[in-house]
Structure 1
Amino acid sequence: MANHLRFFAIHAEDVERAKTFYEAVFDWRITPWGPPGFYLIQTGAEGERAVGGALQQRQEPVTGTGIKGFECTVGVDDLDAIMAKVTAQGGTIAMPPYTIDGVGRLIYLEDTEGNRVGAMQYDPAYAAAFF
């Protein structure tokens, strides 16, 4: 697996309103999964492999004039090697490795400009089913 964008998350104040918007605008299929207020997004046609996503309740308040955007996760083969490269290139590990059972190991890193990005070493069974 190459280092491809594999997953994104949209954080919303009003999850139901955002769900209606993205379904109508992009024809995405958005279905409940996991805890209340958490949905999986399928961006491709039925049976088509595409970038996966999530729609979830915003956990941090948006203040000031900061940019609101998607949270992206890059699928990687070796999470430990990626962490070493991040720090060697002047980035930081914003969240240490966290295992999501049945999905994989996740970190959040910050690049040299302070942008936050996820990196996930997916469980092979999960990756085969979704990617």
Structure 2
Amino acid sequence: MSGRVVHFEIPFDDGERARAFYREVFGWELQEMPEMAYTLVSTGPVGPEGSTEPGYINGGMLRRESPNEGPILVIDVDDIEAALAKVEAHGGQTLLGRQQVGDMGWSAYFKDAEGNAMGLWQSRDQSA
């Protein structure tokens, strides 16, 4: 369903330090993806289709740079272009337009009307 928070992103200055912190403090499972300069974060049990228990979301970690200067919540949408148009019509601002993420789907970043950076996600199975 569209409009749900489905992912988070945590920026880092030192990847090894950040990964060690979250692994040791919270027991998160981390999978580095060097080809994407990204680390997948599992905060709970995961199966082939993603989370296997309700009540938590998984995320990622990446180098701190605009627009990822602070933690970001990522919201699922059916159509990123339509969502960005609505964001701008309601006082928000596009930070980074639709970007392909491997063969999984697309992402984008925006600022809400209060200046908070947020992310959008559109799964490949939602649109071609």
- Coarse TM-score class (shorter-chain normalised): 0.7 to 0.9
Matched, 1:83 2:84: yes
Structure 2 partner of 1:51 = 57
Which structure 1 residue ranges, 4+ long, deviate > 4 Å from structure 2? none
Q: Which amino acid aligns with 1:55?
A: M
Q: Mark the runs of 5 or more structure 1 residues left unpaired by the alignment.
A: 61-67, 126-131
Structure 1 partner of 2:104 = 103
For normalisation by structure 1, the TM-score amounts to: 0.77
For the residues of structure 1 that align with 2:18 and 2:97, how far apart are their CA atoms? 30
- Say how many residue pairs are matched: 118
Structure 1 partner of 2:8 = 8
Aligned to 1:85, the other structure's residue is in SS state helix
Q: How much is the aligned-residue C-alpha RMSD, in angstroms?
A: 2.2
CA-CA distance at 1:101 after TM superposition: 2.7
Structure 2 partner of 1:21 = 21
Residues 119/46 of structure 1: CA separation in 2 closer, same or farther (3 Å cut): closer
Q: Mark the runs of 5 or more structure 2 residues left unpaired by the alignment.
A: none
Q: Which amino acid aligns with 1:24?
A: E
Residues 104/36 of structure 1: CA separation in 2 closer, same or farther (3 Å cut): closer
For the residues of structure 2 that align with 1:114 and 1:103, how far apart are their CA atoms? 28
Q: Which amino acid aligns with 1:3?
A: G
For the residues of structure 2 that align with 1:37 and 1:106, how far apart are their CA atoms? 15
CA-CA distance at 1:2 after TM superposition: 2.6
Overall identity of the aligned pairs, in %:
31
CA-CA distance at 1:92 after TM superposition: 1.3
CA-CA distance at 1:99 after TM superposition: 1.7
